[in-house]
A and B are shown apart, each in its own frame.
Chain A
Amino acid sequence: MSEKIVADFPDQEELQNVVSYALQLATENGASTAEAGMSYGAGLNVTVRMAEVETLEYNRDRSLGISVYLGQQKGSASTSDWSEKAIQETVKAACAIARHSGEDPYAGLADADRMATKLPDLDLLHPWDLSAEQGIELARECEDAARSHDGISNSEGASVSTHTGISAYANTHGFFGCYSATRHSVSCSVIANDEAGMQRDYWYSVARDAKDLEPAVQVGNKAAQRTLKRLNARKLKTAQVPVMLNADVAGSLFRHLISAVSGSSLYRKSSFLLDHLGKKIFPEFIQIQERPHLKKGLGSAAYDNEGVATQDRDLVRDGILQSYVLGSYSARKLGMQTTGNAGGVHNLQIKPTGLDFDGLLAEMHQGLLVTELMGQGINIVTGDYSRGAAGYWVEDGKIQYPVEEITIAGNLKEMFQHIVHVANDVDLRGNIHTGSVLIENMTLAGD
């Protein structure tokens, strides 16, 4: 079992040759402009369950996508095959679609003068020379640590994975960008029993550099502790209560914000934050910044999906919405400029407001601490919010007992306005960096 990841990794030159060829073909087939993106990735994923290897998976994926514009008509096509023949067919398919598409005055590449010219090194490439045996050993350590806790009765296993990818984007403005990045993770999920049945919880660590991962034993310990804390959960009575979203679920609030201020929701008039640019949507102490160039950042990127340079900017300053989240298409539809967000945001930071986690609990005094949210009961058109929840009941600023089978409901517009504090226990494992968030009041439904 000494297989290493066997992958003949393509280099920047190879990717450049393929995208250039695709763009050239597009022009030859009548396209006035065109853009192409491609990616290649390989990795290894191992899972150990009950101390035995469960799965050993080798991943290797590649893709090539092209969009062509015949004047204002657009067509797209993609393939996983990089042979000349497949690329020719793909370009032809995209052109055929474009001929059938409607004339859209807003269609086209992002403006040439917005292309990224400097590509800063974001320190995203840290390959992990992990053999299958080493991965298995690490997963086993992680799961052993979790299972060594009294009360842990079963396991869904521990996984270790490593992935290395290279991707490129080019368009007929002459822009070509290419970068390589790695992503590694350790995760664990275990089960415990109580009289009512079973509870499970998990923990994971993810990083660009394996050196930045939490130790496997710590991941296992946290998974076990989180599971055990959920035992003997109760239901609650229906009431209006203060709600504190734990850091690892609070990011979802700001994902809903991004969704509501993104161009596609706005030009379709499908957002509860329509016409809110320059308006106060949060209390004045809320500051939200986008920081696309963070070294080793999980959401870092020097340019967006259209080659537009990304840059640090304020999304919300003193509670006031400073900018929408736009790509070039939605920007044109709205009569605005792209914000370099084709494909989404890159590292959103919500500034803590001066309390730690315990301080936030004390500030809430009595209410609901939410550690899990379930379901997709969010209506971005109206802001109506209703989701399943589990967590802890808090009294006198202290956690009292676990609770489950409840929902929390409200309207996002009001929830944003009624944020009381953002704690400094920032969760850095994703694209949105926030600590726990306290909301003054929501409807809790239970018995």
Chain B
Amino acid sequence: MTELLDIARQTILAPAGMEDQDLNRILDNTLGSAIDSADIYFQSQRHESWVMEDGIVKEGSYNIDQGVGVRAISGEKTGFAYSDEIMMPALMQASKAARAIARGGQQGQLQAWKAAGGHDLYMSTDPLEALSTEVKLQLLNDVDAEARRLDPRIKQVVVSLSGVHEVILVANSDGSLGADVRPLVRMNVSVIAEDKGRREQGSAGGGGRFAYDYFINEQRGLEFARKAVSQALLNLDAVEAPAGSMNVVLGPGWPGVLLHEAVGHGLEGDFNRKGSSAFSGRIGEKVASEHCTVVDDGTMSQRRGSLNIDDEGTPTQQTVLIENGILKGYMQDRLNAKLMGVPCTGNGRRESYSHLPMPRMTNTYMLAGELDPEEIIASVDNGLYAVNFSGGQVDITSGKFVFSASEAYLIENGKVTRPVKGATLIGNGPEVMTRVSMVGNDLQLDDGVGTCGKEGQSVPVGVGQPTMRIDGITVGGTGV
């Protein structure tokens, strides 16, 4: 942690001629007008992306962004201002604007600095510099060639590679000073297959908090190409998806987007403090079948949704949300934890310095059960087996959620038979979870592709689950 703090001081404060004592001045200035607490969030990030299309590297981009956000809290009120200039005058101005929130309230006290704890879950070196541009472009070439080589019906291939190197420093008026250096890389392959006038798409990808060589090692990049091609070719044979309520088996890994939508958002602390979630006030109640144990875990090594500390400087943790069907807890940032009188769970996240933190998921998944996945599929007479999804959405108040299958098959007489076209599944979160009747022993996390949006802010997240069976959920196909 000290090492990360030193990197953050060097990257962010030193170029602005600032030192730790300047943080005191800003926070002092913010607290001056009867504010309970305040924090300053510095962020410096570099982002690059490369896109290969039609077999040529068509475009690359490089972006540098840095800035600082100042937040002042008075009871349930939050004042916020930010600047893309990291320099004292701009910071003092932002501080003045943020503290305008307070009329009365307590006078916060600035505490002496102490380094916040934190994990060591990923490398602190720059992933963008780990490979030369030539090697990155060769990787794109190889993946593109693999997709085209696999089948002559593949007509279009787009391969993209992107990486972020981000340094953050967060100082809170309670005296905690935290820093994190976060690498994040991502690769995506999307293809179009064409046969007898019919065109279909397939896509695959992955990533995490490591360097680009991850995609070269164990041929992972080539494997994405193979997955994308196989999905597109399968879709060429897809028949109408069924419509109506039916038994559905979800494959392991990325289908865990179900948990993210059906329970995850509804268990974020802000909605529960305000009483606007379908799960509000239900701690200790049964909200899922006894087969369901769901956790949010920001401490998994190198995962896309992991963080050494959250964006308020709190170390991340594994939080049990649902244990054997019983609702155990919510995900909290500092503000909502304080207002609800519970511990903060290290889920305070923000898209950038120009956004306010709020409770967000990290890696959300269901623990493995004991059943053989084959046994789960064989238990269904007629239903749907969905293994890949393109995303979802939830109304946390009514509990209604959707998620859209992009690769799915019919189950007929206990056997996986024909592929079907994409379809949206819809259900009510608390209700659907009570209908999880079988859970497999094959827990998998997703490949590192998830981005979660909430109130206009996007953050990288992970999901995961074992194979599971849901007894009755509405499938939105066209086949009646």
* Chain A positions near chain B (C-beta within 8 angstroms): 1-3, 6, 49, 52-62, 74-81, 86, 89-90, 93-94, 96-98, 100-104, 107, 132, 154, 156, 191, 197-200, 238-240, 268-270, 274, 374-377, 379, 381-382, 384, 386-388, 390, 404-411, 443-447
Contact = CB atoms under 8 A, between A and B. Distances in A.
A109 B66 CA distance: 29
Interface string B408-452: 000000000000011110111000000000000000000000000
B63 A375 contact: no
Classify the interface of chain A: helix, strand, loop or mixed: strand
B243 interface: yes
B344 interface: no
B97 A58 contact: yes
A103 B56 contact: yes
B426 A240 contact: no
B397 interface: yes
Contacts of B390: 376-377
Nearest to A97: B60
A387 B477 CA distance: 9
Given A238-B480, A269-B155, A197 B398 contact: yes
B399 to A, nearest CB: 7
Contacts, number: 250
A74 B59 contact: yes
Interface of B: 53, 56-67, 76-85, 93-94, 96-98, 100-101, 103, 133-134, 137, 155-156, 158, 192, 194, 199-201, 241, 243-245, 274-276, 278, 354, 356, 390-393, 395, 397-404, 421-424, 426-428, 474-480
Given A375-B403, A443-B478, A386 B63 contact: no
Contacts of A75: 59-61
A3 B100 contact: yes
A382 B62 contact: no
A103 B54 CA distance: 11
A403 B59 CA distance: 47
Given A154-B274, A445-B475, A405 B426 contact: yes
Given A58-B94, A191-B397, 6 more contacts: A78-B61, A79-B63, A90-B62, A156-B274, A404-B400, A406-B476
Most buried by A among B84, B194, B390, B426: B426
B84 A132 contact: no
Contact of B400 (A52, A238, A268, A390): A390
B404 A376 contact: yes
Contacts of B56: 101-104
B60 A386 contact: no
A382 B476 contact: no
Given A268-B192, A409-B476, A381 B201 contact: yes
A178 B398 CA distance: 45
Most buried by B among A101, A390, A445, A446: A445
Contacts of B201: 270, 379, 381
B76 A198 contact: no
A56 B78 contact: yes
B16 to A, nearest CB: 12
Contacts of B422: 377, 379, 384, 386
Nearest to B406: A379
A94 B476 CA distance: 46
B340 to A, nearest CB: 16
Contacts of B79: 55-57
